[in-house]
Amino acid sequence: MSGKAPIAAGPPLAVTLGDPAGIGPEIIVKAFRQVPKAAHGAFVAGDVGTMRRASQALALPGQPAWPVAEIEHAADAAAMPPGCIPVLQVVAPPAHIVPGQISAEAGRVAGECVVWAARAALRGDIAAIVTAPLHKEALAAAGFPYPGHTELLQAEAAAHAGVAVEGMPVRMMLANDDLRTVLVSIHMSLRDAITAVSFGNVLETLRITHRALHRMLGRAPRIGVAGLNPHAGEGGLFGSEERDIIAPAIAAARAEGIDAGGPHAPDTVFMRARAKAGVPGSGEFDVVVAMYHDQGLIPVKYLGVEKGVNVTLGLPLVRTSPDHGTAFDIAGKGLADASSLVEALRMARTLTGA
Q: Does pLDDT of 38 surpass 90? A: no
CA atoms within 13 A on the CB side of 113: 35
CA 26 from centre of chain: 18
Q: Stretch 272-301: mean pLDDT, rounded?
A: 89
- Confidence at residue 236, expressed as pLDDT on a 0 to 100 scale: 85
C-beta of residue 293 within 8 angstroms of C-beta of residue 304: no
- Confidence at residue 6, expressed as pLDDT on a 0 to 100 scale: 40
- Confidence at residue 227, expressed as pLDDT on a 0 to 100 scale: 97
Q: Does pLDDT of 215 surpass 90? A: no
Q: Which residues neighbour 48 within 8 Å (Cβ) at sequence distance 6 or greater?
A: 68, 70, 87, 89, 93
Q: Which residues neighbour 63 within 8 Å (Cβ) at sequence distance 6 or greater?
A: none
- Confidence at residue 301, expressed as pLDDT on a 0 to 100 scale: 86
Q: Stretch 72-80: mean pLDDT, rounded?
A: 91
- Confidence at residue 3, expressed as pLDDT on a 0 to 100 scale: 40
Separation CA 41–CA 28 (nearest Å): 14
- Confidence at residue 78, expressed as pLDDT on a 0 to 100 scale: 87
Tell me which of 59-68, 174-183, 253-262 is least confident.
59-68
Greatest distance between any 2 Cα atoms in the chain: 69
Geometric angle at alpha carbon 257, from 193 and 250, rounded to 5°: 30
Rg over alpha carbons for the chain, rounded to the nearest Å, is 21
φ, ψ (nearest 5 deg) of residue 101 = -115, 130
In order of start, what are the domains of the chain with their CATH numbers? 1-169+314-354 (3.40.718.10), 177-303 (3.40.718.10)
Per residue in 93-149, pLDDT (tens digit) is 999 899 999 999 999 999 999 999 999 999 999 999 999 999 999 999 999 999 889
Exposed/middle/buried for 31, CB within 10 Å: 0-12, 13-18, 19+?
A: buried
**Which string of b and e fits 80-111 if b means at least 16 CB within 10 Å?**
beeebbbbbbbbeebeebebeebbebbbbbbb
Where would I find the beta strands (DSSP E) of 110-189?
A: 128-131, 171-175, 180-183
pTM for the structure as a whole? 0.86
More confident of the two residues 61 and 257: 257
Q: Does pLDDT of 7 surpass 80? A: no
Mean model confidence pLDDT for the chain: 91
- Confidence at residue 4, expressed as pLDDT on a 0 to 100 scale: 40
C-beta of residue 202 within 8 angstroms of C-beta of residue 244: no
